[in-house]
Chains A and B, each alone.
Chain A
Amino acid sequence: MKRKDNNPELDALLRTQTQQAIQKAVRSLPEENLSLAWRSSLNERLRAAKPEPRWKARLKGTWRPALGLALASCLAVTLTLRNPISHPVVANSNLEASLVATYDDTANSETVAGPGLAIHEVNDTTSNTDSSSDWSESDLNSL
């Protein structure tokens, strides 16, 4: 983010005489010196300290992401096994047959009853017609 990186006002403030004088004062502070005893103690500690081998450093840089990936994979497998995804099972031969049948029904219903009617409505109409033909001759005579 570079929102505040270029601030000319702040740059100007940092270049004022006062600020420069403070910088000079801080820079002129006496140097801190370490003793030879400190240095020899450090040398001893360095000799005792084994540097991390390169392969170990590389491994260290890779094992964490690898471990994270492995854990995520385990979690995903566990969840998948616990809640198997249910796919609709469709038999290919039945699908083809049902598509053809649906098309035929629609075409027939349009031929018989005109557009806008579903096949069951066509069947109902037929059944009504059939029921009306159940009247017998005697019934007709009784009217």
Chain B
Amino acid sequence: MQACAGTIRLNTPKQLDDASERALIDRCRRSDVEAFGRFIDAYQNRVFGFIRRMVPIQDEAEDLTQEVFIRAFQHFANFDGRCSVKTWLFRIANNLCIDRARRLDRIPAHADYYPSADEDEAIEIADVRWEPEKVALDSELVALVEHGISTMSDKLRGVLLLHDREDMAYEEIATTLNIPVGTVKSRLFLARAHLQNVLSEYLKQEARPV
């Protein structure tokens, strides 16, 4: 397997500390486009990464990401500061994704190949020798992880992305999605179990002699 192709985005120079975020919030409330641009710089890729995995079509995901920032800019006067700007942006993003899914009554792509995972379904956790040290993200595995994410339900996917991808705390996710913390935890467990099943198939095939 090749070396890991992924990049970890945390602590990038674009990250905002609390003090500078507060100062920017005050400026944004006065409709300062330049200050709002700093928020865009800080969060555009993360918001897009979330939306891209919730919305399968690239162009649509890009449009929806723009819509998130436009709505945030237009309604910044309503931002009460009880949560972080990041949490607020992800809440707007999640709501827009839900609205879109309701509108289209979307069916996950390739659902016939991999069964979709939902909260109500009993997930069978594969009993294979799971060896985390073997998990290096080559392009094939990246594609498989992405596929596993795309085949789970929106509810599970949202929690998985916010926790494992965006490093949000359980409470923060609960606030973003407006669900109890216990539900966040159970959804996260089910989402990871679904992904484990998908990846276990891959590892089994890898181990099989040709």
- State the CA gap A140–B210 with chains docked (Å): 142
Name the contact of A28 in the complex, choosing from B62, B70, B137, B182 (C-beta under 8 A): B137
Q: Are A51 and B44 in contact (CB under 8 A)?
A: no
Name the contact of A29 in the complex, choosing from B44, B69, B146 (C-beta under 8 A): B146
Q: A51 and B74 in contact (CB under 8 A), knowing A34-B45, A39-B44?
A: yes
Q: Are B130 and A21 in contact (CB under 8 A)?
A: yes
- Name A's interface SS: helix
Q: Which residue of A lies closest to B7 (CB)?
A: A31
Across-interface contacts of A33 in B (CB, < 8 A): 45
Q: Are B165 and A47 in contact (CB under 8 A)?
A: no
Q: Are A13 and B189 in contact (CB under 8 A)?
A: yes
Q: Are A54 and B29 in contact (CB under 8 A)?
A: yes
Which stretch from B86-94, B103-111, B116-124, B192-200 is at the chain A interface? B192-200
Q: How many residues of B contact A (CB 8 A)?
A: 55
Q: Are A19 and B77 in contact (CB under 8 A)?
A: no
Name the contact of A4 in the complex, choosing from B186, B195, B196 (C-beta under 8 A): B186
- State the CA gap A47–B66 with chains docked (Å): 13
User: A31 to chain B: closest CB distance in Å?
Assistant: 5
Kindly identify, within residues 177 to 202 of chain B, every residue whose CB is under 8 Å from any CB belonging to chain A: 180-183, 185-186, 188-189, 192, 195-196, 199
Q: Are B45 and A32 in contact (CB under 8 A)?
A: yes
- State the CA gap A40–B21 with chains docked (Å): 23
Contact with B along A21-57 (1 / 0, CB 8 A): 1111111111111100011011101110111111011
| B15 proximal to A (CB < 8 A) | no
Q: Interface size class for chain A?
A: 35 or more
Kindly identify, within residues 1 to 28 of chain A, every residue whose CB is under 8 Å from any CB belonging to chain B: 1-7, 10-11, 13-14, 17-28
Name the contact of A26 in the complex, choosing from B74, B130, B145, B180 (C-beta under 8 A): B145
Can you give 30 A-B contacts (C-beta < 8 A)?
A2-B182, A4-B180, A4-B181, A4-B183, A6-B182, A10-B189, A13-B189, A14-B185, A18-B132, A22-B192, A22-B195, A22-B196, A23-B163, A23-B192, A24-B132, A25-B137, A25-B145, A25-B199, A27-B164, A27-B165, A28-B137, A30-B6, A31-B6, A34-B44, A34-B45, A42-B69, A45-B70, A51-B74, A51-B76, A57-B77
User: B interface vs A, CB < 8 Å?
Assistant: 4-9, 29, 31, 33, 36-37, 40, 44-45, 48-49, 52, 62, 65-66, 69-70, 73-78, 130, 132, 135, 137, 141-142, 145-146, 149, 160-161, 163-165, 167, 180-183, 185-186, 188-189, 192, 195-196, 199
